[in-house]
């Protein structure tokens, strides 16, 4: 596509969109995702996030080092650092193939992060990858490779642009648009409009857009332009819940997408990184799908474009598990409850197929039989149970061992007995989740619905307490329901998925469907995370997370 053609596109689309802007209220623009496209997106389930930019050369946080930086730093960051950026080992086909093996159905690439540096051949600014030693349009390489691999194409775009702020004499900071002069705000909006037009016009139909930063008119302008040019595009952040470095405490009915890093940083971090294990990443993926969400797992390529060895290794761990068990996370819905302790559930209602994903099963020797009881599941006359990936006919080198999976329905639950039969590692060890596929299953009960309400700091007798509040909105068919709270100091931003330790209150009295607990606030300046829990004879039911500070 020639520069002249792009310029003509700018003029044509700008006139059309400017004429139509007055037709849109903020509420109209807020979410124009088509319901059928949202359901398509939810079925994808698992995606790869790629954070990559020229500052990966330093192994520092992407973009954010510009905030609070000296004039000298900004000058060298903007004018010198791009001159040594040459990701000549970037292999988009290899990355797309690895994503597909890992069970990912879509990829989202950072076309422009907050720094304003564009990873494509743009006419809107010289601050882009074609003005580096690499010279080529890396975004085009990515789009073609992902599309050729049969994966959905996603683009991350920041309407917030630190380079724009700096070159227009404004302080570089997370955007506070209220003090941007009107004439510069008009120019700011125009930049985002033109860049969005360019992205939507040059690379074919983009499937997914992830907007980050520039809340308010900046992001609303981008969404308006994108949906006008391509009504089928699904906007995630900017139009749906997108928790970062955490996942909700309970199943959500609305669509949501969690994004997380393998370690502590989005872009490449060559030293001082603390990676989650491949097993832990799988557990987070499983929990995400059990609660009805999508997971967007991040990688940060090295400055030469290659994936760090640690990140590739974890993706291949996930790929091995996915090759055996991928159907348990693709195109699934939540079950009546997300889990029974360490057994997590996904569900395909049309097929009446339930997947019971057995996590936290360390040191399960090949050939050893283990038994489980599921209280939320009831079998039917047509029920069948199997271990995904296994034939249930043979265990290598153990011809006398029974490999069959058995089940029995009793009054208090579905009793299951299975063997880990498949040899996947040479040392016969496999410490990853095993999946039981249960066809023609039915729910065994109707679960209650509980809420974690806002807590307050209260004074009683000169002592400050945190008063936790909860509510039962639906008892389901439960006849024996007990409630309590779990609480803990809020883990650090990047560590919320690294710990599962909670303190618990006693069982609480329920009055008019509500209950409370007062916890002495022994220290100041602590932020607590808390949630409501209901204990049934069959299972525990967990509610949404909330936080409160003792400041």
> CATH number of the domain that 272 lies in?
3.20.20.80
Q: How far apart are CA 307 and CA 329, in angstroms?
A: 25
Domain count of the fold of the chain? 3
Confirm whether 21 is domain-assigned.
no
Label residue 464 by pLDDT band (50, 70, 90).
Answer: very high
- Residue 18 scores a pLDDT above 60: no
Find the helix or strand (DSSP H, E) in which 87 lies. Answer: none
Phi, psi for residue 220 in degrees, rounded to 5: -65, -35
Closest to 89 in 3D by CA, of 122, 58, 56, 131:
56
Are 117 and 132 members of one domain? yes
Tell whether 346 and 462 lie within a shared domain: no
* 221 and 249 together in one domain: yes
Please tell me the predicted confidence (pLDDT) of residue 275: 96
Residue 369: phi, psi to the nearest 5? -90, 135
Mean pLDDT over the full length of the chain: 93
- Do 60 and 193 fall within a single domain? yes
- Distance between CA atoms of 191 and 198, rounded to whole angstroms? 11
pLDDT digits (tens, 9 = 90+) for 84-104: 999 999 999 999 999 999 999
Q: Please state, in angstroms and rounded to a whole number, the distance separating the CA atoms of residues 221 and 196.
A: 9
DSSP 430-444: --SPEEEEEES-EES
In a shared domain, residues 225 and 346: no
Kindly state whether residues 388 and 483 are assigned to the same domain.
no
Do 435 and 457 share a domain, yes or no?
Answer: no
What span, in angstroms and rounded, lies between the C-alpha atoms of 346 and 45? 11
pLDDT at 499 exceeding the cut of 70: no
Segment holding 313, helix H or strand E: helix 309-325
Instruction: Please state at what angle helix 309-325 crosses helix 278-290, rounded to 10 degrees.
Output: 50
The string of DSSP codes covering 14-75 is HHHHHHHGGG--HHHHH----HHHHHHHHHH-EEEEE---GGGGGT--TTGGGTT--HHHHH
- CATH for 530: 2.60.40.10
Q: Please tell me the number of Cα atoms within 13 Å of 448 on its side-chain side.
A: 26
Q: Within this chain, do residues 170 and 282 fall inside the same structural domain, yes or no?
A: yes
Q: Rounded mean pLDDT of 275-279?
A: 95
Whole-angstrom distance, CA of residue 434 vs CA of residue 324: 9
Task: Dump pLDDT digits (tens) for 407-436.
Answer: 999 999 999 999 999 998 888 888 899 999
Listed residues 412, 443, 474: the one ending a domain? 443
Residue ending a domain, choose from 409, 443, 477: 443
Q: Is 516 among the domain residues? A: yes
The confidence score (pLDDT) of residue 19 equals: 38
Mean pLDDT along residues 207-213? 96
Q: Average pLDDT, stretch 270-282?
A: 95
Q: Residues 6 or more apart from 181 whose CB is under 8 A from it? A: none
Structural domain range at position 497 = 449-549
Residues 153 and 280 in one domain: yes
- Inter-residue contact 51 to 99 (CB < 8 Å): no
Residues 494 and 390 in one domain: no
Domain final position from 264, 296, 323? 323
**Is residue 412 a part of any domain in this protein?**
yes
Residue 429 domain flag: yes
Q: Does 360 reside within a domain?
A: yes
Residue with tokens 């039969």: 421
Model confidence over 502-543: pLDDT tens digits? 999 999 999 999 999 999 998 888 999 999 999 999 999 999
Tell me, yes or no, whether 390 and 306 share the same domain: no
The answer to whether residue 292 sits within a structural domain is yes
Determine, yes or no, domain membership for 32: no
Q: Tell me: do 104 and 181 sit in the same domain.
A: yes
For the purposes of burial, counting CB atoms within 10 Å of the CB of 532, is it exposed (0-12), middle (13-18) or buried (19 or more)?
A: buried
In a domain, 30, yes or no: no
């Amino acid at each position: 596509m020639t520069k002249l053609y792009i310029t003509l596109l700018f003029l044509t689309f700008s006139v059309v969109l400017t004429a139509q802007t007055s037709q849109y209220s903020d509420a109209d623009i807020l979410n124009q995702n088509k319901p059928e496209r949202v359901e398509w997106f939810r079925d994808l389930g698992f995606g790869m996030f790629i954070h990559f930019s020229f500052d990966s050369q330093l192994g520092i946080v992407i973009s954010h080092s510009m905030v609070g930086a000296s004039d000298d730093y900004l000058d060298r960051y903007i004018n010198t650092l791009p001159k040594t950026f040459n990701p000549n080992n970037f292999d988009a086909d290899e990355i797309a193939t690895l994503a597909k093996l890992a069970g990912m159905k879509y990829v989202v690439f950072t076309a422009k992060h907050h720094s304003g540096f564009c990873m494509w051949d743009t006419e809107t600014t010289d601050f882009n990858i074609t003005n580096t030693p690499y010279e080529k349009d890396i975004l085009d390489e990515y789009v073609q490779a992902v599309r050729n691999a049969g994966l959905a194409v996603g683009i991350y775009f920041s309407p917030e642009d630190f380079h724009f702020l700096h070159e227009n004499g404004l302080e570089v900071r997370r955007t506070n648009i209220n003090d941007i002069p009107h004439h510069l705000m008009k120019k700011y909006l125009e930049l985002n409009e033109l860049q969005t037009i360019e992205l939507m016009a040059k690379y074919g139909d983009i499937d997914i857009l992830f907007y980050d930063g520039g809340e308010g008119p900046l992001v609303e302008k981008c969404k308006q332009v994108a949906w006008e040019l391509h009504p089928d595009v699904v906007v995630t952040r900017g139009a749906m819940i997108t928790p970062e470095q955490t996942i909700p405490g309970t199943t959500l009915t609305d669509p949501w997408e969690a994004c997380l890093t393998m370690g502590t940083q989005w872009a490449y971090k060559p030293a001082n990184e603390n990676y989650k294990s491949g097993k832990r990443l799988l557990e987070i993926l499983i929990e995400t799908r059990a609660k009805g969400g999508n997971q967007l797992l991040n990688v940060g390529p090295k400055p030469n474009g290659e994936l760090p060895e640690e990140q590739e290794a974890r993706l291949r761990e996930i790929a091995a598990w996915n090759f055996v068990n991928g159907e348990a996370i693709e195109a699934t819905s939540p079950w009546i409850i997300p889990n029974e302790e360490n057994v997590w559930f996904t569900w395909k209602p049309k097929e009446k197929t339930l997947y019971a994903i057995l996590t936290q099963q360390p040191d399960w020797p090949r050939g050893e039989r283990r038994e489980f009881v599921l209280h939320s599941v009831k079998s039917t006359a047509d029920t069948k149970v199997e271990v995904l990936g296994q034939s249930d006919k043979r265990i290598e080198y153990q011809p006398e061992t029974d490999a069959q999976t058995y089940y029995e329905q009793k009054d208090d639950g579905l009793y299951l007995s299975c063997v880990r039969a498949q040899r996947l590692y040479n040392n016969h060890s496999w410490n990853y989740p095993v999946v039981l596929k249960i066809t023609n299953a039915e729910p065994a009960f109707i679960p209650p619905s509980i809420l974690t309400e806002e807590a307050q700091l209260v004074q009683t007798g000169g002592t400050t307490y945190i008063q936790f509040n909860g509510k039962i909105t639906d008892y389901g068919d439960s006849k024996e329901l007990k409630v309590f709270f779990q609480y803990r100091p809020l883990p650090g931003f990047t560590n919320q998925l690294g710990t599962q330790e909670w303190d618990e209150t006693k069982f609480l009295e329920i009055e008019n469907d509500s209950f409370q607990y007062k916890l002495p606030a022994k220290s100041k300046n602590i932020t607590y995370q808390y949630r409501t829990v209901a204990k049934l004879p069959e299972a525990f039911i967990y509610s949404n997370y909330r936080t409160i500070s003792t400041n």
